[in-house]
Amino acid sequence: MIYDFFFKITGSNIIASIIQSLLPLFIFILPFALFAVWLERKVSAHMQDRLGPMRVGKHGWLQTIADILKLVQKEDIVPNEADKPLFNIAPVLVFVGSYAVFAAIPFSGAFIGSNIDLGIIFIIAASGFVVAGILMAGWASNNKYSLLGAMRSAAQIISYEIPTVLVVLTIIMITGTTNLFTLSEMQTGHFWNWMIFGGPNFGVAKFIFIPFMIMNFIIIYISTLAEVNRTPFDIPEAESELVSGYHTEYSGMKFAMFFLAEYANMFAVSAIVTALFFGGYQSPVGYLGNLFGAHWLIPIEQFFWFTAKGIFFVFVQMWLRWTLPRLRVDQLMTVCWKYLIPIAFVNLIIIGLITVL
């Protein structure tokens, strides 16, 4: 484990914890956000018969860095009528919420920020922080568009947490653990051991599970899309209606914080879906490390598989964003309360019955 490694080197558990908690930020979230913003622009461009950024670096791969540099240099504007303390705390809070989620995500067998037993519950709780931040941002900006965006966002995120939690509950019922690390370890072996294919158990139950698992996956994917405010659920920041929703009044680095949090969140929810349904960091086919007898290679391979799966789901999110129009607020709530939640409940009951039997 990373923590033990740094503990041995530095001999101090405080320094080891600090390094361990900063590590995901610098080796993962920041580079990922830079990459994801570039990817989003490229994906959208190629879907729309354009080239996208081409000037800064080969195929514009340095474009995001240039953008960040521009944002850093910008004047930090706080509106006169804004509630200044709240206005300043809000982006930090949003970022903390999405960053805290990364603590419990198992990137590979040897690298999990904090191996807490309540992993998945912790993630759901921590992502709830984001709502508070968004509400604060909307209220403190003293702008009607921001307020409308924030209200929509709060309603949306809270509503969609219910189907997410229901799906997570079914997984907990089957596996009997809330620890994401254990959950990933259970899905070891080949891809037919992944939860989407009925999990590691054998027999008839596995095949009965499959359709329900696929349904569960669709529900959780839709609701996570809504939780990170992506199209078709990007109502809080609907630029054609609310200019840009709760972060209308933000500029410079504070805006960048919201932006970074959004992309970090995109990966976080993809990571949850991966960990719950697609074997977490487990390779679908086996490890090169085992083949060559080089066991140090396995964690690196696992990290690769986890990132690859995560980025695939991020890519699907982008794909949807550039294809679909946006729902209206009431339609969004209809989808959640009239369709997703009842279906999730039925799933929960049926899977519960199967597990008991």
Residues interacting with another protein, by CB under 8 A? Answer: 44, 47-50, 144-145, 148, 231-232, 234-235, 238-243, 322-331
Instruction: Name the nearest CA neighbour of 218 among 161, 279, 154, 164.
Output: 164
Do 179 and 121 form a contact (C-beta atoms < 8 A)?
A: no
Q: Find the shortest distance in angstroms from Cβ 234 to another protein.
A: 7
Identify which of residues 13 and 331 has a Cβ nearer to another protein in the complex.
331
In the chain, what is the straight-line distance between the N-terminal and C-terminal CA atoms, in Å?
38
| Spatial separation of the C-alpha atoms in residues 213 and 18, rounded to whole Å | 38
What DSSP character marks residue 337? I
Write the burial class of residue 14 (CB in 10 Å: 0-12 exposed, 13-18 middle, 19+ buried).
exposed
Q: Find the shortest distance in angstroms from Cβ 321 to another protein.
A: 8
Identify which of residues 130 and 148 has a Cβ nearer to another protein in the complex.
148
Identify which of residues 52 and 279 has a Cβ nearer to another protein in the complex.
52
3-state secondary structure of 108: strand
Q: Find the shortest distance in angstroms from Cβ 327 to another protein.
A: 6
Identify which of residues 126 and 242 has a Cβ nearer to another protein in the complex.
242
Identify which of residues 75 and 330 has a Cβ nearer to another protein in the complex.
330
Cα–Cα distances in angstroms (integers) from residue 42 to residues 30, 110, 150, 181, in the given order: 18, 33, 29, 34
Q: Find the shortest distance in angstroms from Cβ 334 to another protein.
A: 9
Q: Find the shortest distance in angstroms from Cβ 339 to another protein.
A: 13
Identify which of residues 155 and 253 has a Cβ nearer to another protein in the complex.
155
Q: Find the shortest distance in angstroms from Cβ 149 to another protein.
A: 11
Instruction: Name the nearest CA neighbour of 345 among 198, 167, 211.
Output: 167
What DSSP character marks residue 111? E
Q: Find the shortest distance in angstroms from Cβ 62 to another protein.
A: 24
- Residue 212: both structure tokens together: 């329900």
Write the burial class of residue 128 (CB in 10 Å: 0-12 exposed, 13-18 middle, 19+ buried).
middle
Q: Any idea which residue has 């391979």 for tokens? A: 301
Identify which of residues 234 and 262 has a Cβ nearer to another protein in the complex.
234
3-state secondary structure of 221: helix
